[in-house]
Structure 1
Amino acid sequence: MERTIGGTDRPQAGGGRAPAHPETRIPESCPVVRMVTVRLNRRSLRGWHIRLLDQLGQRPDRRIRIAWTEDAGSLPPNAELLFRLEAAIHGLPRPGLATAAEPVALASYEAGPGAADGEIVLDLSEAPADPARAATWRLDFDGVPGEAGLLAALFGKRAPVAALRGPDGAPVAVGRLGAESHTVMLAAFEDYLARTITLIVAALDGARATRLPDGTEAPLQPGSPFDLGGLGVGRRAAEGLARQVARRLYALCFHRPQWRVGWRRLAGPDLIDLRRHPEGGWIDLPDDGRRFYADPFAIARDGDVTLFVEEFDYRRGKGVISAVRFAADGPQGRPEPVLELETHLSYPFVFEADGQVWMIPESHASGTIDLYRATAFPRGWVHERVLVDGVVASDATLLHHGGRWWLFATVRAGGGSYSDTLHLWHALDFRGPWIPHRRNPVLIDVGSARAAGAIVERDGALIRPVQDCRGGYGAALGLARILRLDEGGYAQQVETRLEPGAAWPGSRLHMLSAAGGFEFIDGSRPARPRLLG
């Protein structure tokens, strides 16, 4: 579980079983685009354009060239001041994806007019379309061309939908973008830009989804009105966005939620069957104010139920994995540390296989996904092997299905959010070797990519708990039905969204786990003073 810089977004109303949506279309294999002309605005070039071109050029069989425009950028002039101030206050690295760049950085790319057979024009310029170029993909965010759409989404507290559209306005590729912080605008803005690069590269490599997993279309059309305090597209909209940036410059602040774990005995349907909070509510796993507990994973073994959690001690400033045994009347004592490393640990995915107990804790700072084995359960964890190397992965979750093992994890590649890009691997044995799914990333959606617990089989269907981070990290819990899982593709459909409320007060509902007649969730409660002594 990541700690974010911010987290003040309010949950949206709703919940319960969602209406049925059309199945997310899994497109047939699209050809790789070999010739790309990238149309850029010379006056609003940024670091993310440089990184995009670097990634596009990594294919030796692809030719990249640039066409320049000279139009004014869509961001208000004071946005750059906001970014510089936030970078200084929060110690964010610069230069970054949002930093202004000079055209000389792209001197190695061929620039020139004219078209070539099989060429795609990737238009990122915000200028009027070039009628001489028919095969053009234009980028918009929530239907608004240019980076102003991203900033508008941040002020509107919504997860933006990025869309590449063809000449007829129909989506070529879409993705709902995520950000780890919704209160530090620069951090969120760069998260969105990083995932936009992922979307564009995947689309040009032939991996394209034209609608979101919940069945909705990419919103609006380029140039359609959008809401900035009641203002429409044009000068008044730009002025409204500039005013919001100005207010933000005077109101820089952040808030960290206080996390907790809730539990209950199962005397009837569980949350997956109920699709709502239980009538009796939840009992908090107590803490002493010097630490919090999160990421509950329960396992039943030899007649006992053991709950594993992330324990975050404020004095140490990092997470460790702790465990506590549950009896009929609840926890027997307090969670005690069972695994601690130099790096922060969370999401202790615990499972039993081959007569032993195994754990895959999240430690994204190591750049690996690691497997541990218990030698004196629930203690005595020893490192067994690296499952996947060279990856910044969150919340790795295993599933045995169809005669093979599947590994789910959200991957942060080239910056961006930890929560919006789902990758899969498959293997004949849970120890590996693990083979990346050929369609990775199989999903870009901050509303349903990141895992929220173990996948459960129910009435012949696979139900995947997911984090809905559109309102911030861990804002709501989704239940997604897996529609397709094979070497050729992946699809899921979110059926239910559960939020905090009277039965679970606070602003976050983050994870779900059950075992041995107990059910567990976690989330946040109103802030309280921290005891550090």
Structure 2
Amino acid sequence: MQALRIAIVLPTPDRPAGWCTRLVEQIEAEPRLDLRAFIACPSHMQPSSGNALVRTWYAFERKVVGKLQAADPLDRSNRRGNCPTLANDDHLAIVGMDLDVIVDLSGQAAGIFPAEVARLGIWHPDFLRRPAGSTAIAAIVARDPVIAISLLCGAADRGEETTIATARLNTKFVASRNEDFMLEKAVPLIVNALKRAQASQAVELPALPRSAEPRQPGGAGLCTYLARLGGDGAAKVVEKVGEKLGARPGMFFLKSHAGAWSEFDPARATAHVSAKNSYFADPFLWERAGAMYCFFEEFDYRTGRGHISVGRFEDGQLADIRVALRRDYHLSFPHLFEHEGELYMMPECCEVRRLEVWKCREFPYDWALHATALEGVVAADSTLNLIDGTWWLFTNISDDAFLDMNTQLHIFRTDGPDLARLEPHALNPVVVDAREARNAGRILKLDGRLYRPAQDNSHGTYGYGVRLMEIAHLSLDDYREELAFSIEPDFEPGITGCHHLDVRAGRVVMDVRKRVGGFAGRATGRKAPGSAPAMAPLATGLRSARTRHLKGSE
């Protein structure tokens, strides 16, 4: 199958920004993509300036906050190919490249090339055409749950543009960080779209619905932004003070329910709260000798690190809680799986930049390191799943300066617990969306269907909610999933999030986040209060969703 022939328009070809360098490196690392040339951005063309007050403030904020990524030169001595840098008006040379796509990282290249310059047109992230910082400020002012960034495709000889891919990002409260985040996440958005175009050998690209154009902020919008910036900043200071005082701000705890998963109502489930200066999160259930156990992260507020603890359910309460695995680095998300009669655990340990698989020597407290993989890679909330006789690794990888693990889902075919062979999915990252990329538990088989629990990282919150994504198709060349059910943090007062779910042998467990957990020693396991009658299936907790077909970053 022929590689996709690509040229990239760079704003500063000699010293591109870090996100541009990362895009070039990822394209050159993919054999199915052929980077043929760089094109210098038209020096006389600049984005529209926008409101003067907004422009002045954003310039000041940028100086104070600074740039997240450095503007490093491309190392032309260590390149797969020898790409020339062409002038944008050298049409003869550009047409002679026989290009499929021109990726415009300046947002200013529309209308300057002849019609035959690229078979699939000129692509650019939509926000690059807007005044710097305006999209980021507008999202904060509007309290948008997520920021949608789109990849637009325009023909060289006309102004018509279509949306060919969209990513959704969790909004940050500082505009300059929002802007940097959008630039970073434009990289996987573009790479995924290029891979899809190459895999389909597309003659023309699918047209997706166009995202609404954000309202450009003026003086009133700037005042609203500054007020929210101050308020959110003060809230974060209060949260840090609360941590020092032992008030456990943002505390996770567990809720469990014995019964059918479709009847789960988190408002009426039993709560399991740490009695120490810690919280419980990321629960995984496991049966052994007729008893049901729960493995989970126990995060210590004093050390700022988590370890793996385990407890046993007795009369609905979580009893005999002890440490199952502790290291001198942070551990969480203790994914459990079985193979050939042996029990394994793959906890998150992204602090040491690798995957670890631990084998159980004596249940449930004795574990030995069995295998490692993805050395040097920041990967979170990984699950290893045997599906129709094939082992699949689902993981959330960060490859940007933010170390963000909430927006990209990667899949690998592997050989099992040894992780000796990892074959990346052809379309990695298969999902680029903060609302459903990050894993929220093991893949579940419920009523004959496969579901991937996913974190909904929106509303400016880590772990706002949980979504159950039904897996419609899984192969090494394609992946499709559909939103089936969702849980949002509105089932009792003081709840700000819920971000993990597990179901096993007639029991459901999830974690829930409170705005303030209260001082240690004052909370114990209890039945959640409530005099209302039992809810109908899916009425409160699991909301049935209107399913939709996902096409990667759609």
Give me the TM-score of the superposition, normalised by structure 1: 0.78
1:467 paired residue number: 455
The 1-side partners of 2:359 and 2:130 are apart by 50
Match of 2:41 in 1: 67
Q: How does 1:60-459 map to 2 (within 5 A)?
A: 61-65=34-38, 66-69=40-43, 70-72=45-47, 76-85=55-64, 87=65, 95-97=67-69, 109-113=85-89, 114=91, 115-116=94-95, 117-118=98-99, 120-127=101-108, 129-134=110-115, 135-141=121-127, 148-155=134-141, 156-167=143-154, 168-178=160-170, 182-206=172-196, 217-220=208-211, 225-227=213-215, 233=216, 237-239=217-219, 242-247=222-227, 250-251=230-231, 252-255=233-236, 257-267=249-259, 269-270=260-261, 273-274=262-263, 277=265, 281-333=268-320, 335-416=321-402, 417-432=404-419, 433-459=421-447
Report the AA paired with residue 199 of structure 1: L
Cα pair distance change 1:310/1:207, threshold 3 Å: farther
Bigger RCO (CA 8 Å, 6+ sep): 1
* Residues 481 and 72 of structure 1, relative CA distance in 2, 3 Å threshold: closer
How far, CA to CA, are the matches of 1:350 and 1:418 in structure 2?
21
Q: Equivalent pairs: percent with the same residue?
A: 26
Output the aligned Cα RMSD. 3.5
Contact kept in structure 1, 2:441 and 2:500, CA below 8 Å? yes
CA–CA distance in 1 between the matches of 2:170 and 2:3?
A: 26
**Structure 1 residues 495 and 394, CA gap change in structure 2 (3 angstroms):** same
The partner residue of 1:524 within 479, 488, 513 is 513
Closer, same or farther: CA 151–129 of 1 in aligned 2, 3 Å:
same
Q: Secondary structure at the match of 2:268?
A: coil
Cα displacement (A) at 1:71: 1.7
CA distance in 1, matches of 2:223, 2:72: 27
Amino acid at match of 2:399: A
**Aligned 8 A contact 1:392 1:411 in 2:** yes
| The one of 456, 477, 481 aligned to 2:466 | 477
* Residue number in structure 2 paired with 1:3: none
SS of structure 2 residue aligned to 1:48: helix
1:324 and 1:331 in contact (8 A); partners too: yes
Quick check: which has more Rg, 1 or 2? 2
Q: Secondary structure at the match of 2:182?
A: helix
| 1:423–1:512 CA distance, 2 compared to 1 (3 A) | same
Confirm or deny: 8 A CA contact 2:283 2:509 kept in the other structure.
yes
Contact 1:139 1:145 in 2 (8 A): no
* In structure 1, distance between residues paired with 2:379 and 2:497: 22
Change (3 A) 1:175 1:476: same
Q: Sort the Cα spacing of 1:143 and 1:71 in 2 relative to 1 into closer, same or farther, 3 A.
A: closer
Q: Deviations over 1:213-269 (max 9, x none)?
A: xx994543xxx6424xxxxx4xxx3545544454456443344542233333423x2
Query: Which secondary structure state, in structure 2, belongs to the residue aligned with residue 49 of structure 1?
Result: helix
Question: Aligned-pair distance for 1:428?
Answer: 3.7
Report if aligned partners of 1:202, 1:208 keep a CA contact under 8 Å in 2. no
2:496 maps to 507
Residue 39 of structure 2 is aligned to residue 52 of structure 1: no
Which sections of structure 2, spanning at least 5 residues, go unmatched?
77-82, 116-120, 155-159, 201-205, 240-248, 522-554
TM-superposed deviation, 1:415: 3.0
- CA gap of 1:150–1:35, structure 2 versus 1, over 3 A, is same
CA offsets, 1:397-452, max 9 Å, x none?
12211211111011111234211111011124332322222221111111111111
Residues 399/344 of structure 1: CA separation in 2 closer, same or farther (3 Å cut) = same
Aligned mates of 2:405, 2:72 — CA distance in 1 = 29
Residues 1:35 and 2:6 aligned together: yes
**Is the 2:444–2:503 contact (alpha carbons within 8 Å) kept by the matching residues of 1?**
no
Q: CA deviation at 1:58?
A: 5.5
Measured in 2, the distance between the counterparts of 1:361 and 1:419 equals 17
Offset, 1:143 = 9.9
Any conservation in 2 of the 1:57–1:63 contact (CA below 8 Å)? Answer: no
CA shift, 1:515, in A, is 2.9
The aligned length equals: 470
TM-score under structure 2 length normalisation: 0.75
Deviates more, 1:102-111 or 1:286-295: 102-111
